[in-house]
Amino acid sequence: MAEFSIIRQYFQSLTSQSLTSPHTQDVGIGDDCAVTSLPQDMQLVSCVDTLVAGRHFPLDTSAHAIGWKSVAVNLSDLAAMGAEAHSILLALSLPKIEDAWLAEFSRGVADCCKKYNVQLIGGDTTQSPTLTISITALGWIQTGQAILRSGAQVGDLIVVSGEIGSAAYALRHPKSTLQTTLDYPQPQLALGQSLVGFASSMIDISDGLAQDLGHILSASQVGAEIQLEQIPIANELAQLSIDQRFADVLAGGDDYQLCFTISPDHFQRWQAQSAQRAMTPVTIIGQIQQDMACHYFYQNQKFTPKESGYQHFA
Ligand code: ADP
Ligand code: MG
């Protein structure tokens, strides 16, 4: 099967999925570029993330999960800015054409797109020795409202969504009850958007909480105190030794939860206004401080983490 029939058979229909988005796609798959009208007073928010087989997911991951996760990790970056997701472009490099694999992969892409009301508007299909999926995600946000890493202020609360460390646990325990947290991350788009105008800084947790929070701290030129016992974890992690538990929580990665900072006053107001909305629960885990270091405490005792998070070139 040639490149064009792959596009036609597996991807073309994803542009025209019936979506509730008020923004129409002017030109989708089939021309040299997609053409999109930007809503008034909005800035384009864009990112790209590449997943390499054996490096970013185990080789035995199902094609459906690979499709889902490739989309989800990109939407998670949009969520971390507070942006509204609009569309994706998919660059697919395949060692060989396998119909069963492509059918499942494209179903995974479609399922994630559908859940988050996003359309596939273009891409590229090539042959390569290693299965590689590179997705560009596009979204938008009211001009000047994007939540950056650099806005944390001394005294702000440090807050995370969901449970942390589950994906790292699942990676070490194949086929455990936490497998779906690793294979099917849930980008926190609704939560991210709700925090616009409230949070002072935000990041998504892809490389481990310690490292990703560290990016906020250095961009904002502040430090932090974290109470480790406050960090929400799955029951499976509570059974682990303290060292292993906090290795998964702090250095694990692949959680795709949000970590944000917010003043106590804004946090109260945000809670009051978002109480009715169904969103992933959030938990305060610490506070921003002046001293430019990150101090961890476990039950009031100082705790020094042993690992530092995912290294892309390790
Ligand atoms: P070009 O030669 O101009 O790069 P292509 O022949 O690669 O165009 O692609 C034809 C059309 O199909 C384009 O609209 C492109 O965006 C789309 N496309 C190609 N591969 C994919 C894919 N894997 N997923 C979605 N759209 C794709
Ligand atoms: Mg062209």
Report the residue among 9, 113, 125, 126 best suited for mutation to probe ligand 1: largest number of ligand atoms under 8 A from its CB. 125
Phi-psi region of 168 (alpha: psi -120 to 50; beta: other; left: phi over 0): alpha
Tens of pLDDT along the chain (314 residues) come to 678 888 998 998 887 544 445 566 888 898 999 999 889 999 999 999 999 999 999 999 999 999 999 999 999 999 999 999 999 999 999 999 999 999 999 999 999 999 999 999 999 999 999 999 999 999 999 999 999 999 999 999 999 999 999 999 999 999 999 999 999 999 999 999 999 999 999 999 999 999 999 999 999 999 999 999 999 999 999 999 999 999 999 999 899 999 999 999 999 999 999 988 889 999 999 999 999 999 999 999 999 988 767 766 66
Q: Which ligand is nearest to the CA of 90?
A: 1
Q: Which ligand is nearest to the CA of 120?
A: 1
CB 14 within 8 A of CB 120: yes
Query: pLDDT tens digits, residue range 104-117?
Result: 999 999 999 999 99
Task: Give, using CA atoms, the residue closest to atom 13 of ligand 1.
Answer: 30
CB 68 within 8 A of CB 155: no
User: Distance (Å, rounded) from C-alpha 255 to C-alpha 243?
Assistant: 19
Nearest by Cα to 164 from 259, 63, 67, 304: 259
Q: How much is the pTM?
A: 0.94
Task: Give, using CA atoms, the residue closest to atom 22 of ligand 1.
Answer: 123
Contacts of 119 (CB under 8 A, 6+ apart): 14, 15, 17, 19, 21, 25, 28, 86, 87, 88, 113
Report the residue among 124, 126, 127 best suited for mutation to probe ligand 1: largest number of ligand atoms under 8 A from its CB. 124
Report the residue among 29, 36, 94 best suited for mutation to probe ligand 1: largest number of ligand atoms under 8 A from its CB. 29
User: Distance (Å, rounded) from C-alpha 231 to C-alpha 227?
Assistant: 7
Contacts of 145 (CB under 8 A, 6+ apart): 82, 196, 197
CB 190 within 8 A of CB 75: no
User: Distance (Å, rounded) from C-alpha 87 to C-alpha 34?
Assistant: 10
CB 125 within 8 A of CB 90: no
Q: Which atom of ligand 1 is nearest to the CA of 90?
A: 24
Q: Which atom of ligand 1 is nearest to the CA of 30?
A: 14
Centre of ligand 1 to C-alpha 124, Å, is 5
User: Distance (Å, rounded) from C-alpha 157 to C-alpha 198?
Assistant: 12
Alpha helices in 189-241 (DSSP H): 189-194, 209-220, 235-238
Task: Give, using CA atoms, the residue closest to atom 27 of ligand 1.
Answer: 123
